Structure 1
Amino acid sequence: MRPLKDAQLGAFTFFASALPHDVCGSNGLPLTPNSIKILGRFQILKTITHPRLCQYVDISRGKHERLIVVAEHFERSLSGFQKQGKAASSEKMLQIGYEVLEGLEFMNKHGLVHRALSAHNVLLDCKGNVKLAKFGLYHMTDHGADVDFPIGYPSYLAPEVIAQGCFHPSDPSHDDAPLPSGPKADVWSLGVLLFELCAGRRLLHNIEISERLKFILTLGKNVTYYLLAAIFTLSLQELPENVVELLRKCLTFLPSKRPTPAELLGDPVFNVISCHYTPFQKPISLFASSLRCAHLDLPDDISDLCKEDDDDFLSERAIDEVYHLWCLAGGDMEKELTNKDIIQSKPPVCTLPNFVLEDGESFGQCRDRSFLLDDTTVTLSLCQLKNRLKDVVGEAYYPLLEDEQSALPQSNSSNELSATVTLPLIIRERDTEYQLIRIILFDRLLKAYPYKKNLVWKEARVDIPPLVRGLAWAALLGIEGDIQAKYDSIDKDTPIPTDRQIEVDIPRCHQYDELLSSPEGHSKFRRVLKAWVVSHPDLVYWQGLDSLCAPFLYLNFNHEALAYACMSAFIPKYLYNFFLKDNSHVIQEYLKVFSLMIAFHDPELSNHLNEIRFIPDLYAIPWFLTMFTHVFPLHKIFHLWDTLLLGNSSFPFCIGVAILQQLRDRLLANGFNECILLFSDLPEIDIERCVRESINLFCWTPKSATYRQHAQPLKVAGDNSFGKTASYFSSDYQDMPNPDLSREPLALSDLKEEMSPRVSAADLIDLCELSLSAISKRNRASKPKIVAVDIRNVEDFSRGHISGSINVAFNLAFSPDGELLQCPTTGILQNYRGRVIVVISNAMQTAFSAHLVKVNFPRVCILDGGINKLKPTGLLTVPSPQI
């Protein structure tokens, strides 16, 4: 969106038509309220940006089908000329006419018609340029079908519009809806508007509707004669011939002979004035094939950029940013409208349509005029917001990205901002000053994407501002290129077998959200899902794909191509081959690795769940198939995925374990049936705690412990972990240059027999090196995070072992037939509880590690391939002989 500059934020309200409560649609579901339909159609208006149009910002839905619209606003309008009673000069009239036509033409290119053009909806900025307001009312209300009032003002409506009359779908007297108004209807309205500018006052304003119709229909008989007669009667000055010709073309009675805005812009009458206007060029989007900097043009003297000594830095920010901060600073649209008496509260009894006495006599009230359209626009005061941001210095609005100091700019309240980072995320997201700093920083980083991709990763580890979450996620997923062209090339119209299932799933997917439940939301859902199915012929549609799509569609509601691109990048990274026609082997391997992760981090809980046979197959498939979008509402998914996108394909395992740990006490105290009931209606989960614990689990998990044979082949990427230490534990597992040290595939049947995860020899070497370096760099008393436990007999151990490993001989703890002789955890091993324990041997590793898990020893894993994997490396040491 463009900067706020000298504009203001304005709000106006209206009511949508109420629907009967006892009527259902053809699918058996309740009818979608008209207010939700309007809310869905409104969203595209936020993308319509042009110098001649007031920028739409937001819409909110209140009680009783009330809608409040926020848009760019200016106090001055053409109605000010009429109040002055002076006729506008021909030059001014041509300027206004040309600028109005520019706005109308741009609207027409996007399939929009104003239909509500009038003097008070043609606003003027500080330079006197035209800004068309309320141009989206006709579109968002489905050409007036979703409201009880007509769109437009009778004084300005074209004859063909008035001839159609009012229409409402519930009116049985109308069989078919009239055709929507076309661009030529606005040309007539412009003609009347220019007509009034010539006369210096409003026309047909104090005349009854019937008299207006007579006047308009009379014009149709001989438009030239009556037009000229009216001009010379109502105007005190003689108009140039070109102005008269312009009025004649605008007020042509027959629509077939009336020009469109595009045709009128090319009329010779504007030849002189058009040379002073530069054609509007829409800014290049972040994901496109064109250069985003191609339109930039620096002045010859760079000091010209700094001539204006203005401390109002907030006005340089985008309109949607200012509005977002205004809301955070305590802005309340309903309160603002109530203070101006636009919204009037009444006692409930006074709002009843009618009431009936005992004798059957009915009393009712007249139509409440508050439910009609009051097009008054209330200016939203920014004083409270500016007062909240008064301590933010100017440098904060222009952060230096290469500054190696704190990312938070220095200000009078820098200490408070630094303290804010440590507060819970939900508090940070509601802090006005903190969000301003974060939004500005991310805005600059995203504009420099992909050049500043690493910095986006770095800042995303702190948090992601909700206002830029959609683009930030796209950057974290590595989206690049002309995504719109690719999306447009996909056939989303030809029927396919999956269409029926998609139609069934969409009305059940996150329908508590007003945006996704709107008909526009359903259409976008359908197109994005179908585009994914068509573009991935080797995969199939599984239930749950709609839930995966929901977060991306919500954040990129007006950019389907970006929602599709994000979804297409997300699924291979976290759900590789999950959507194969036969995905049983992929799912079973995934669930088994998840079971091993539970045993690794919480063996007591794992033992209990295994004892009552409450396996992950009974509860975890919807978790991982939808990446938790099926079980959590969107606002929790946003916070969860902010962190998930920083991790790799193993991070969902940690989220699953973190959820179980929040339910740990209840799970340990219950049996199978109680656990089934518990997960059928999942209790409230603290997402911030879940994220925090997931990161801790993620950092404690060796990277090869989550190895899956059916995982995506990995590409070498940048650092995407949660810290330096975590890089050894949390990175996606990749084969080392020496393939002999990597994990070997394990058959699913053999994997199901395991009780502890396996780690590769290469991983063990890395982890041991990390431990040694950690000890050398930190206090000598610091304990390493890993310990290697060699369970071979003493003789074999003395012939060669990993440096720093301890020896707990298996033959001393277990008999040859596997019977426990002495619990190994009662001895020296007890001192290493809490560390990652890697069991090493030639054989019997599984039995030894299984015993450790059964006695609730955490973080136990075994070396894949045993000691034989390490012998060729030359890393085994032999103790020096004692003298």
Structure 2
Amino acid sequence: MFPLKDAEMGAFTFFASALPHDVCGSNGLPLTPNSIKILGRFQILKTITHPRLCQYVDISRGKHERLVVVAEHCERSLEDLLRERKPVSYSKVLCIAFEVLQGLQYMNKHGIVHRALSPHNILLDRKGHVKLAKFGLYHMTAYGDDVDFPIGYPSYLAPEVIAQGIFKTSDHVPSEKPLPSGPKSDVWSLGIILFELCVGRKLFQSLDISERLKFLLTLDCVDDSIIVLAEEHGCLDIIKELPENVIHLLKKCLTFHPSKRPTPDELMQDKVFSEVSPLYTAFTKPASLFSSSLRCADLTLPEDISQLCKDINSDYLAERSIEEVYYLWCLAGGDLEKELVNKEIIRSKPPICTLPNFLFEDGESFGQGRDRSSLLDDTTVTLSLCQLRNRLKDVGGEAFYPLLEDDQSNLPHSNSNNELSAAATLPLIIRERDTEYQLNRIILFDRLLKAYPYKKNQIWKEARVDIPPLMRGLTWAALLGVEGAIHAKYDAIDKDTPIPTDRQIEVDIPRCHQYDELLSSPEGHAKFRRVLKAWVVSHPDLVYWQGLDSLCAPFLYLNFNNEALAYACMSAFIPKYLYNFFLKDNSHVIQEYLTVFSQMIAFHDPELSNHLNEIGFIPDLYAIPWFLTMFTHVFPLHKIFHLWDTLLLGNSSFPFCIGVAILQQLRDRLLANGFNECILLFSDLPEIDIERCVRESINLFCWTPKSATYRQHAQPPKSTSDSSGVRSSTPYFSTECPDPPKTDLSRESIPLNDLKSEVSPRISAEDLIDLCELTVTGHFKTPTKKTKSSKPKLLVVDIRNSEDFIRGHISGSINIPFSTAFTAEGELTQGPYTAMLQSFKGKVIVIVGHVAKHTAEFAAHLVKMKYPRICILDGGINKIKPTGLLTVPSPQI
């Protein structure tokens, strides 16, 4: 969107026509309210940006089908010129005509027709240039079908529009519905407006509406409509004095038959504008972030660099996009309905006055006065920015231009200034409502995203602090590594040819997050259908499973006007977190995933794991929708946004931690109930504190050894080496944790049945070496070095017999032989190392042996005794022998 500059923001309101409550659609579901349909169609208008068009910003849905539209606004319009009651100069008329045609031409390229062109909808900015307002009303209301008032003004309607009359879809079958107006109807409206400017007065003021319409239709019978109009309004002398080229323009515009009338595009090429057109440069829309065109092509520095900073007291807020200013205006306490009430656009009526005099049993009522509120109030209320400017008065100019290439840029904390450091520690919900904090975050992310992918690493670091809601869609795309000509790729996919999956998609969409106004609109359904179908068609090795629609919903919501980006994000997300989940036979993938999840529950919360296993409440009964949809099936969108802000920073094992964190929030209720009560509890999941869930899942993730969540069917890891071939070093327990590449010390795949038989997870020898902070000799490489001062992070329990232990063991390990470790009652046998084992309860304990069955049984015993963070060394002691890390105790003399 363009910067706000000298423009203002305005709001106008209208009502969508109400639908009967007792009627259902062909699918058996209630009819979609017309206000929802309008809200869906409105979204595309936000993408239409042109210097001659007022930028649409937002639409808000209120009670009783009320809609409030926010758009760019200017105080002056052509109406002000007509109030002066004197003819406008011919050169000025031609410039106005050309600028209006520029706006109309651009609209027409996007399939939009104005239909409501009038002097008060042709605004003038501070420099006197034209901006067309309310150009999307005809489009968003489905050509007037969804409202109870006609679109357009009687004096400016084209004859063919008048001849069609007003049709309502509720009264006529679709075959009788007239064709929507085309671009040529706007040319007629422009002709009437130019005529009024030339003569300095408004037409048809002495006639009532019916007479105006009759008069316009009679123009078909005259040879020269210009002369007839001039004679009717007593301005023939003025018309005769007009230059030939202006008369030629008026005649072209006011051609009665639309077949002979030019379109805006054709009229712009007319010789009448030969002197005007060279004064204007053609508009080219700036390249978007994910496009194949060169984004920096039009970036040029002035010859004199001081010209960039000539205005010291510049209005920095006006340099931000109108979308950002409106978002900040809302955060600073802006209330659309309150603004309209203050200007008496919205008037409340006492409820007693709205009661009917007579009411039938079927609901039909009589005796109510006609409610004129359903008609269009054409007033636009200017939204005052004083409150926002006052809120931001202490924000310095440097906050609007943060430096990215400074010494702090490589640190994993925010670049926002020190005054905001306190705000950064507040709960996320408060930060998202803090005007100053959001201003700084939005500006920072805007600059970082403009430098994507060059600043990809810094985007990751800033996203660890938080992601501003306004920038979430693009930030997620950057975190997922979306690059390239995504639009060309999406457009090349066949989304029209019927496929077998169509039927299931049609059934699923009307049940997917339909509480949301945007996604429940017909426009939202159509976009859902196209994105889902594009994914299915472009992934022939995968299939559509129920739940894919829920997975698509967050991406579509954030990129509603950019289907290609929604598709690209979804296509990048699924391989990372749901690799092979959508195979036709995905049972082996799902079963492995649920088994690892069960092990994670036992690892972090053995008491809960023991209880759930005893009552037979296994993850298969509740967790499949969680992981197949990455929690989008169980949480509303506003919670998913906060959850995925963190999820996208973690690797493919992070969802396990989210699952465990959810269970821990329900822990008390689960422990107190049996199987049937748990089933009922999960059939309608209780309220989950999502911020607490995120916080705890990060903590769980940091406590989980990297290889404990190893899955045979996970996405093959990518190399973590940079261009110089040096592997980057990160702290072992870190949220910046990519999936590690496979080495000789990595975990080996085991059969699914063996995995299911083990209660505790396995960890790799590589992880064990990292956590013990041992140095390796030979050709093995580990990312961390030994630090002498650090406390041990884990305890290694060697369960071999004492003779084997003495021959060689891991430094720092203790020996509790498996054969004598437990009593007949399952209690731990008291021995020299029992106290040490107790002292490490709560830290990571690794069971090491040479018989896999024994290590698994030993670990299961400890889990039964409620020891958390128990894991088994994959491959046993034999995996460590080649590393040269086994030590032999000194002989006792």
Q: Does the pair score TM above 0.5?
A: yes
CA distance in 1, matches of 2:820, 2:551: 52
Query: Using a 3 Å threshold, how does the CA distance of structure 1 residues 257 and 728 change in structure 2: closer, same or farther?
Result: closer
- Give the corresponding residue for 2:838: 830
Task: Tell me the residue number matched to 2:862.
Answer: 852
Letter in 1 for 2:504: Q
Match of 2:599 in 1: 596
- Whether 1:879 aligns to 2:886 is no
CA contact (8 A) 1:760 1:864 kept: yes
* SS of 2:135 mapped into structure 1: coil
Q: Secondary structure at the match of 1:249?
A: helix
Equivalent AA in structure 1 for residue 879 of structure 2: K
The corresponding residue for 2:815 is 807
Is contact 2:38–2:141 with CA below 8 Å preserved after alignment? yes
State the secondary structure of the residue aligned to 2:273. helix
Tell me if structure 2 keeps the 8 A contact 1:699–1:722: no
Q: 1:735 aligns with which of 742, 747, 759?
A: 742
Asked whether the 8 Å contact 2:163–2:217 carries over to 1, the reply is: no
Q: Tell me the equivalent position of 2:558.
A: 555
8 Å Cα contact 2:480-2:569 kept in structure 1: yes
- Say yes or no: does 1:762 pair with 2:775: no
Q: Give the aligned partner of residue 780 of structure 2.
A: none
Distance in 2, matches of 1:280 and 1:433, equals 34
Give yes or no for the alignment of 1:367 onto 2:370: yes
Name 1:36's counterpart in structure 2. Answer: 36
Q: Look up the SS of the partner of 2:169 in the other structure.
A: coil
Q: Secondary structure at the match of 1:576?
A: coil
Choose from 457, 462, 465 the match for 2:465.
Answer: 462
* 1-structure distance, mates of 2:480, 2:728: 14
Which one of the candidate residues 697, 708, 711 is aligned to 1:694? 697
Instruction: Report the counterpart of residue 565 of structure 1 in structure 2.
Output: 568
**1:745 is matched with which residue?**
749
Give the aligned partner of residue 83 of structure 2.
Answer: 83
Taking the TM superposition and a 5 Å limit, the aligned residue runs for 1:569-588 are: 569-588=572-591
Deviates more, 1:317-326 or 1:396-405: 396-405
Q: How does 1:446-457 map to 2 (within 5 A)?
A: 446-457=449-460
- Shift of residue 342, structure 1, vs aligned partner: 0.2
Note the C-alpha offset of 1:307: 1.9
Asked whether the 8 Å contact 1:37–1:518 carries over to 2, the reply is yes
1:584–1:13: structure 2 CA closer, same or farther, 3 Å change rule? same
Structure 1 residues 448 and 728: CA distance shift in structure 2, 3 A = closer
Contact 2:578 2:628 in 1 (8 A): yes
**Is the 8 Å Cα contact of residues 416 and 440 (structure 2) preserved in structure 1?**
no
Alpha-carbon separation, structure 1, partners of 2:754 and 2:230: 95
Query: RMSD over aligned Cα, in angstroms?
Result: 2.4
* 2:317 corresponds to which of 314, 317, 320: 314
Matches within 5 A, 1:469-508: 469-508=472-511
Please tell me whether residue 862 in structure 1 is matched to residue 877 in structure 2. no
Quick one: which amino acid aligns to residue 76 of structure 1? R
Amino acid at match of 1:622: P
Judge conservation of contact 1:223–1:252 (CA < 8 Å) in 2: no
C-alpha displacement of 1:787: 2.1
CA distance in 2, matches of 1:876, 1:757: 23
TM-score norm. by structure 1 comes to 0.95
Per-residue CA shift, 1:196-216, capped at 9, x if unaligned?
A: 000111111331123223432
Match status 1:637 vs 2:640:
yes
Q: How far 1:450 sits from its partner (Å)?
A: 0.4
Three-state SS of the structure 2 residue aligned to 1:375 is coil
- In the TM superposition, what are the counterparts of 1:366-515 in structure 2 within 5 Å? 366-405=369-408, 414-415=418-419, 417-515=420-518
1:535 aligned residue: 538
For residues 225 and 755 of structure 1, the distance between their equivalents in structure 2, rounded to whole angstroms, comes to: 90
Tell me whether 1:724 sits opposite 2:731 in the alignment: yes
TM value normalised by structure 2 = 0.94
Secondary structure of the structure 2 residue equivalent to 1:788:
strand
Q: Residues of 2 paired with 1:333 and 1:718: CA distance? A: 52
- Give SS of 1:461's match: helix
Matched, 1:786 2:790: no
Query: Is the 8 Å Cα contact of residues 154 and 213 (structure 2) preserved in structure 1?
Result: no
Contact 2:701 2:735 in 1 (8 A): no
Q: Give deviations 1:17-63, integer Å, cap 9, x for gaps.
A: 00000000011100000000000000000000000000000001000
Q: CA deviation at 1:369?
A: 1.4
| Cα distance in 2 for residues equivalent to 1:728 and 1:811 | 39
State the alpha-carbon separation in 1 of the partners of residues 327 and 161 from structure 2.
Answer: 38
**Secondary structure in 1 matching 2:116:** coil
Over residues 809-835 of structure 1, what are the superposed CA-to-partner deviations in whole Å (9 max), with x where a residue is unaligned? 3233148x9976716784321111111
Is 1:301 the counterpart of 2:304? The answer is yes
The structural deviation recorded for 1:222 is 2.6
Superposition deviation, residue 807 in structure 1: 2.3
Native 8 Å contact 1:600 1:756 kept in 2:
yes
The 3 A distance-change label for structure 1 pair 699 and 234 is farther
Separation in 2, partners of 1:585, 1:814: 35
Match of 2:220 in 1: 220
> Conserved in 1, the CA contact under 8 Å of 2:698 and 2:735?
no
Q: Is the 8 A contact 2:114 2:137 kept in 1?
A: yes
Three-state SS of the structure 1 residue aligned to 2:809 is coil
Cα pair 1:396 1:409 within 8 Å, conserved: no
Shift, 1:409, TM fit: 6.5
* In 2: Cα distance, 1:518 partner to 1:408 partner: 38
Q: Give the 3 Å change call, closer, same or farther, for CA 318–572 of structure 1 in structure 2.
A: same
The letter of the residue matching 2:279 is H
The 3-state SS of whatever aligns with 1:344 is: coil
Q: Which amino acid aligns with 1:93?
A: V
Residue type of the partner of 2:554?
P
Q: State the Cα distance separating 1:305 from its structure 2 match.
A: 1.7
Q: In the aligned structure 2, how far is the partner of 1:66 from the partner of 1:393? A: 39
* Cα distance, 1:587 vs structure 2: 0.5
Q: Deviations over 1:380-429 (max 9, x none)?
A: 00011111111110000000012234866677xx43x2111111111110
Which residue is equivalent to 2:189?
A: 189
Alignment of 1:659-670 (within 5 A): 659-670=662-673
How far the C-alpha of 1:878 sits from its partner, in A, is 2.0
Identity %: 76
Provide the rounded CA distance (Å) in 2 between the counterparts of 1:443 and 1:729: 23
Gap change, CA 1:278 and 1:309, over 3 Å in 2: same
Structure 2, unaligned runs of 5 or more: 777-782
CA contact (8 A) 2:826 2:861 kept: no
1:827-881 Cα offsets, whole Å, 9 max, x none, are 3211111111111111221111111111000000010010001111112122234
Mapped partners of 1:505, 1:473: distance in 2: 25
SS of corresponding position for 1:742: coil
SS at match of 2:50: coil
Would the alpha carbon gap of residues 649 and 526 (structure 1) be closer, same or farther in structure 2, given more than 3 Å must change?
same
Q: Distance in 2 between matches of 1:164 and 1:81?
A: 32
Question: Would you say the 8 A contact 1:223–1:253 is kept in 2?
Answer: no
Does the CA contact (< 8 Å) of 1:3 and 1:315 recur in 2? yes
Q: What is the DSSP-based 3-state SS (H/G/I as helix, E as strand, rest coil) of the residue aligned with 1:594?
A: helix
Q: Distance in 2 between matches of 1:722 and 1:594?
A: 28
The number of residue pairs the alignment matches comes to 873
Instruction: Quickly say closer, same or farther: Cα 1:875–1:183, change in 2 above 3 A.
Output: same
**Aligned-pair distance for 1:225?**
5.8
Q: Distance in 1 between matches of 2:593 and 2:769?
A: 26
Question: In the TM superposition, what are the counterparts of 1:98-109 in structure 2 within 5 Å?
Answer: 98-109=98-109
1:213 counterpart letter in structure 2 = L
Compute the displacement of 1:733 (Å). 3.8
> How far apart are the structure 2 equivalents of 1:532 and 1:428?
35
Flag the 1:787–1:258 CA change in 2: closer, same or farther, 3 A: same
Counterpart-to-counterpart distance in 2, 1:851 and 1:480: 50
